[in-house]
Structure 1
Amino acid sequence: MTQRHAWIDASAGVAGDMLLGALIDAGADVEFAQRCIDQVLPDSVRLRTEHVTRAGIAAIKVHVDVLVADPPHRTWRTISTMLTDAGLPEPVRTSATAVFARLAEAEGRVHGVPADDIHFHEVGALDSIADVVGVCAGIFDLAIDQLTASKVAVGSGFVRAAHGRIPVPVPAVTRLADGWTLFAGGEGELTTPTGMALLATLCAECTDLPAMRLQTVGLGAGTKDFAGHANVTRLLIGERTEVAGVGAGDPAVVLEANVDDLDPRLWPGVLADLMAGGASDAWLVPIMMKKGRPAHTLCVLAHPSATAGLRELILTRTSTIGVRQQEYRKFALPRAWSRIRLGDGQVMIKIAHRDGLIKQVTPEFDDVVAVAAAAGKPTRVVLAEAIAAAQHAGLVIGVPVPENARTTPH
C-alpha cells in the first residue's frame, strides 16, 4: 500500500501562518480553511493570501485579518470549549485540540502552573487560533496520511513579548521541542510557539527528507524578507510505499503512575486528555497497594517525542506525585481504514494487514455508537450490522487489502 506523506522543511524556521501558506500553495482550499475557522471564530477573522518572494523565491503569504476586538488573553479551557462546540470535521477538531493541549502544557511548564490555569497571550490571539485551525483543515483537505519534519531553525537573540524581553528560542519553543533537533539558523525569532506546537503534535518524527514519489511542493512565507536566506517553510507531498511486515519496530515509551486517591469519576476525562495530548494509547490496571489499599496503575503508551508533555499531563490531571518511564520497541501490523455506509450513517472499518492480506477487521466503536444513537438502536445490534456490512463489502480475513483503503482513519 501507499500513503500520502508530507515532509515539512523547517530549516528556515516555521510559524503557523507560514505552514498554512505552504499548505495553500500545495493545493489546500483556502475557502475550506476559512469555513472551518468560521466555525470556531464566527465573523471574527478573514484569511487573505498574497503571492510574494523571499530572497527571490516565490511563496504564499497568509494574512489573518482580525475583524473584531481581540481580548488580551484566553484560557486553555476557553479555547478547548470553542473547539468542542464548533461544527468541525472530527479530524480537524481532534488535531487542533491536541495542538492547543500541547501548547497549554508547555506554557504551564514555563510558568510553573497547571495547564488548566494557563492564560494564553500571543498564542491565544484570534490570528493564532485561525492559524492552528487552518493548518489542521489544510492537512485534512489534502488527505495527508502522515507528516514528518526536518531539523528546526529557531533563531537567536531576543524578542519582546507579553512578559517582556525574552531570549530566542523563547521558553515555550524549548519546552515544545523535546526530542527534536534544533539549530539557530540566523538572527531573530525564526520559529514561533505555534509553529513548534504544530510540528511537535502533528508530525510523527524529526527526520531528513524520506524517500517518496514527489507530487507537489508548497512554500509559505514569513513576514520578513531576510537578505541571507529565504524566510519560507516548505512542504513536500508525495507517495510512500508502505513496507510489508513489522520490521525492526518503532521506538515507544510507556509512562506509569500508581494512583490510589483519585475520584474514579475523573478517570475517563484523564484518559481522554492523554489521548488528545499525543498518547498512542492509555489504560488503567487495577492493583492492590501496601496496607491492602485498592488502586490503579495508569499506563500511557507514546512516541518518545510526546513523553514530556504527557508526563506533565499525568502530574496535573491526577493526584500522583511521580511518574516512571520505560523505553520499548513497538511492533505493530500495518493498518488501513475503509468507510462503509450503514443506514443513514457511516462507520470506519479498521483493517490490520500483513504482506498485503487482511489479518483483522474491526469497526471503529465511536462510529458504531454514533450511528446507533442516531438510529435509536442498541449499540450491540449496530455493531453486528457493521461487522456484517464489512464482510459484505469484501473486508474479510485472508483477502487482499482494497486498493482504495486509507492509511489513516481521517
Structure 2
Amino acid sequence: MTHVWIDASAGIAGDMLLGALLDAGASLDRVQAKVDAVLPGAVRITATEVHRAGLRACKADVTALTTDLPHRSWRDIRGLLAAGSPAAAVFATLAGAEGAVHGIGPDQVHFHEVGALDAIADVVGVCAALDDLGATTVSAGEVSVGSGTVRSAHGLLPVPAPAVAELSRGWRIRSGGTGELATPTGMALLRTLAVSCEDLPSMTVSAVGVGAGSRDTPGRPNVVRVLMGGKKTATQDALLLEANVDDLDPRLWPGVLTGLLDAGADDAWLVPILMKKGRPAHTLSALCAPAAVPAVQARIFRDTSTLGVRTSPRAKTALDRTVVRLDVAGHPVAMKIGLDGGAIVQVTPEFEDVAALARALGIAESEALSRAAHGALSAGMIVGEPVQPDG
C-alpha cells in the first residue's frame, strides 16, 4: 500500500501539486502521454529546478501549443475526459462549487481561468502522476488559503475566493499569509483525491517531492510538499465508551451521535435495552482512539443525562481504505473502497452523494444507487481486483 500525504501548509495550486509529484518520481513522459490523450498536441509540460525562499523545488509549467483558448463549460470539459476517471471527478467537484457560488447548476458553469488548457493539463497530470507513483491512498493536512483580495474574471474578490471557500467545507484551513495561496483548481484536486484531512500520519517515507509556485516570497517558501511511503494499518488500540440512558428526549439522539463523531469518535451507535423495573432505555456506545477519549467523554456528559461512562479496551482491525470520487452523470460520487493486500474487498458509495445525485437528476435514490454501482463497475472497481486509477 502506497500512501501520499500532501503538505499544503503554504497553500496549494494545480501546478504546484503536479511539480511535487514529478519531483517525487512520477515520469514526466508518462504524465505528458496521459495529457496528450485528452488534449492531443495542445500543451507541453516541462519540469525545471527552481528555488523558493532558498529551498530547492520543481516548477511544473504548461505551455500552450495552440491559440485555441476558449472558455469552456463543464459539459465541454466532461466530453474531453474519460467517464468515471478521477480527473472527471475533480472537475465535477469544481463545477459543483462554482455552481453553488453563482447559484446555477453544474452544467451551466463556464470556466474562465480554470477552464484554460493549463488547468485541464494540471488536473489530468496530477491524476496521471499519482497513478504512475502507484498511490493507493491520499490524505492532506491543513491548507493555508491566504488573505486580502484577488482579481478574477468576475472582478475583485476576497480571499479565499468564493469557490475556494465553498471547497473548504469540512476541511481545516487557515489564512497562513497574504494574497491568494489556494486556488480553486488546487482545492478541487485536494478535496477530490484526498481521503481525509490529517496531520502527517505514521508512515515509512520512501520519497519526498517539493513543487514550486510562481512567486518567490522572501522568508516563506511558496511550495507544496508530498511525502510518499507505506502507511501502517494493522490492529489498532481502541477504547469503547458506554452509558445507559433512560430519560433523554428521543428526538435528541441523532444530534448526540453526530456530536460524538464530530468530537473524534470512530463510530457511535445506540442499542435498545430494558433496565431495572422494566424501564425502556438505550445503551450509548462510542468507539475511539485513546487520544480522543477526553473529548468524546466530555461530549457524552454534555449532550446526555448520564451520570457515568464505562470505558473498556478494544482491539480494532481495519481494512486499508481509500476513496475514489467518480463522475456520475456530471456529479461527483465518492466510492469508499476497502482493500486487503491491495485487492478490493468492498465498494460502497457515499450515501449523501447518492442522495444529492438523486435530487440533482430528479430520480429515486434507488436508481441513483444503481447508477453509482454501474459507474464503479465501469471504472474497474470490482471485488477481488486491484484499484485501477485512470487519469
TM-score grouping bracket, smaller chain normalisation: 0.5 to 0.7
Kept in 2, the 8 Å contact 1:16–1:194? The answer is: yes
Contact 2:17 2:224 in 1 (8 A): yes
Matched with 1:28 is 26
Q: Are the aligned partners of 1:105 and 1:312 in contact in 2 as well (CA < 8 Å)?
A: no
Q: Which residue of 2 is the match for residue 136 of structure 1? A: 127
- Report the TM-score when normalising by structure 2: 0.67
Equivalent of 1:302, from 328, 347, 350? 350
DSSP-derived class of the 2:209 partner: strand
Q: 1:157 aligns with which of 141, 148, 151?
A: 148
Partner of 2:126: helix, strand, or coil?
A: helix
Answer yes or no: is 1:17 the counterpart of 2:65. no
* CA distance in structure 2 between the aligned counterparts of 1:34 and 1:409, rounded to whole angstroms: 19
Q: Is 1:166 matched with 2:199?
A: no
Letter of the structure 2 residue corresponding to residue 132 of structure 1: V
**How far has the Cα of 1:182 moved from its partner?**
0.5
1:315 corresponds, among 355, 359, 364, to 359
Instruction: Write out per-residue CA displacement over residues 300-323 of structure 1, whole angstroms, 9 at most, x where no aligned residue.
Output: 9529xxx5x776544322269xxx
5+ long unaligned stretches in structure 1: 86-92, 253-269, 282-299, 321-346, 352-363, 365-405
Aligned to 1:272: 328
CA contact (8 A) 2:3 2:229 kept: yes
* One-letter code aligned to 2:361: R
> Deviations along 1:143-202, whole A, 9 cap, x unmatched?
011000010000001111010100110010111111100000000110000000011000
Query: SS in structure 2 opposite 1:51?
Result: strand
1:71 maps to which residue? 69
Matched, 1:350 2:383: yes
Letter in 1 for 2:191: A
Summarize the Cα distance change of 1:121–1:251 in structure 2 as closer, same or farther, 3 Å threshold.
Answer: farther
Q: Residues 180-219 of structure 1: matches in 2 within 5 Å?
A: 180-219=171-210
Name the CA distance, whole Å, in 2 between partners of 1:54 and 1:161: 25
Q: 1:23 Cα deviation (Å)?
A: 0.3
What is the distance in 1 between the residues matched to 2:53 and 2:327?
47
Give me the whole-angstrom Cα distance separating, in 2, the residues matched to 1:217 and 1:122. Answer: 30
TM-score (norm 1): 0.64
Letter in 2 for 1:198: L
Q: CA deviation at 1:275?
A: 7.7
Deviation at 1:224, TM superposition (A): 0.1
Q: Percent identity?
A: 48
Unaligned 5+ runs, structure 2: 240-264, 269-325, 338-347, 365-379
**Post-superposition shift, 1:349?**
6.4
The 1:348/1:200 distance shift into structure 2, 3 A limit, reads closer
Offset, 1:240 = 1.3
| Residue 40 of structure 1, aligned match among 7, 25, 38 | 38
Once residues 275 and 251 of structure 1 are traced to their aligned partners in structure 2, the CA distance between those partners, rounded to angstroms, is 28
| Root mean square deviation of aligned Cα | 2.9
2:6 to 1, 5, 8: 8
Give the secondary-structure state (helix, strand or coil) at the position aligned to 2:219. coil
CA displacement at 1:243 relative to structure 2: 1.7
The match for 1:390 is none
Aligned partner of residue 47 in structure 1, secondary structure: strand
Q: 2: distance between equivalents of 1:65 and 1:187?
A: 28
1:409/1:133 Cα in 2 relative to 1: closer, same or farther (>3 Å)? closer
Question: Aligned in 2, Cα 1:348/1:126: closer, same or farther, shift over 3 Å?
Answer: closer
**What SS does the aligned partner of 2:66 have?**
coil
1:242: how far off? 2.1
| Residue of structure 2 aligned with 1:114, choices 92, 105, 113 | 105
Letter in 2 for 1:44: A
